[in-house]
Amino acid sequence: MWYFSEEEKALQELCRDFAINELAPKAEHHDNEESFNIEAFKKMGEIGLLGITADPAYGGSGLGATAATIVMEELGKACPASTLSYLAHSILCVNNIQNNASEEQKQKYLPKLISGEWIGCMGMSEADYGSDAVGIQTRAKLEGDQYKINGSKMWITNAQYSDIAYVYTRTGEEKKNLTTFILEKDKNQFEVGKPIHKMGMRASPTGELIFKNATVPLANRVGEEGDSVYHMMKNLEIERITIAGISLGVARACTEQSIKYAQERKQFGKEIGKFQLIQKMIAEMSTETDMMAHFLYGVAKEYDNGNKGPAIAAKVKLALPKMATKIALDAIQLHGGYGYSREFPVERLMRDNKLNEIGAGTNEVMIMIIAKDLLKDLKPKK
């Protein structure tokens, strides 16, 4: 994009090379095996990606949403699942600690999370509370100067590999009385349940976090009791912008792969790219991908310039994953039987991308947020 800074352009190059060399060659293997590319993850620490938005004082890069979105797009083109794990670590865990934790907590947790020595996750969702996140039932009760935590979290990206979990709990009966903690695996502050087997994002580990009377010192509480809703809402915007970056990567990969295939595959004695119906598919895929990029990076830049808001983040989160799923389905169609097989990456990209219509808030929840903003002048029912 013309408005990327020199630093952002250099980051784009770095991530493009990393994705080609470290993620792409192993993406199919890890998808098939449902395994985590931990070597690549650790290398992300070595090349300075894991603390993309964190303060340089803790080893971070001190960059914004635009830079984080560039990373998601470039890595997402090669392996959306590894990128989802990267997002859970760098945006859901590290960025939350950066923005909400105390100085002592930042000094204790951020350097090891940013170097890649530790892996992090974020636990908001529960088995019975997904879209209704404010309804969560995992309880934290203060006893002296320690909390006892009981309950469980569901669908947690990186659960099986996490040393640190940034977790939301209930500390009172009032709906919004939710409190945040940073929990440590080594101190038995959480256990990990069974892995969850999925349709896509199979190279991103997903699991349960379980708390059985976990003893957690007051020092691990983030902010005050009741601060969680503020923490959640503040981080969701960058979460939604950056996850849309993975969908942009998917759309680009599918478009590029389709253009290549249309020039190689022959039927009726000529390249399928000579058929107008195929040309229409490619022209539309490319146009939609360009639209996605301009919308997404425009919103990311606005966010970095301080023009934030839940509705605009919800709009990119609604638009991009849906468009990328459509583009990926078209790419499968264009590849015919080969597209439906595991010989080409387009079916994996489609399966992976579908998650982006669900995680970080479903399409329906995005519609609710956007409509609430547009219709805010409607008077409440008497």
Nearer residue to ligand FAD within complex by CB, 286 or 362: 362
Count of residues interacting with ligand FAD (CB under 6 A): 24
Percentages (nearest 5) of helix, strand, coil residues in the chain: 60, 15, 25
Nearer residue to ligand FAD within complex by CB, 234 or 265: 234
Residues 38-57 that bind ligand FAD (CB under 6 A): none
Q: Among residues 185, 173, 166, which one has the least CA distance to residue 125?
A: 166
Q: How near is the Cβ of 359 to ligand FAD at its closest, in Å? A: 4
Given candidates 198, 234, 265, 326, which one binds ligand FAD under the rule CB under 6 A? 198
353 binds ligand FAD (CB under 6 A): no
Nearer residue to ligand FAD within complex by CB, 88 or 272: 88
DSSP-derived letter for residue 236 is H
206 binds ligand FAD (CB under 6 A): yes
82 binds ligand FAD (CB under 6 A): no
Nearer residue to ligand FAD within complex by CB, 156 or 281: 156
Which helix (DSSP H) or strand (DSSP E) does residue 243 occupy? helix 228-264
Q: Is 239 a catalytic residue?
A: yes
Q: Among residues 351, 344, 248, which one has the least CA distance to residue 299?
A: 248
Given candidates 76, 120, 123, 207, which one binds ligand FAD under the rule CB under 6 A? 123
Identify the residue whose tokens are 């670590």: 89
Nearer residue to ligand FAD within complex by CB, 208 or 288: 208
125 binds ligand FAD (CB under 6 A): yes
What residue is closest to ligand FAD based on CB?
Answer: 130
C-alpha distances out from residue 247 to 77, 243, 250, 306, Å:
8, 7, 5, 24
Given candidates 11, 15, 49, 201, which one binds ligand FAD under the rule CB under 6 A? 201
The residues near 60 (Cβ < 8 Å, ≥ 6 apart) are 51, 52, 53, 54, 94, 98, 110, 114
- CA 98 to CA 79: how far, in whole Å? 26
Site string for ligand FAD, 144-163 (x = CB under 6 A): -----------xxx------
Q: Provide the 3-class DSSP secondary structure of residue 123.
A: strand
Three-state SS annotation for 26-51: HHHHHHHHCCCCHHHHHHHHHCCCCC
Q: Which residue in 8, 73, 208, 239 is the catalytic one?
A: 239
361 binds ligand FAD (CB under 6 A): yes
- CA 84 to CA 359: how far, in whole Å? 10
131 binds ligand FAD (CB under 6 A): yes
Identify the residue whose tokens are 């502050």: 189
Active-site residues: which are they? Answer: 239
Contact positions toward ligand FAD, by CB under 6 A? 88, 92, 121-125, 130-131, 155-157, 198, 201, 206, 355, 358-362, 364-365, 368
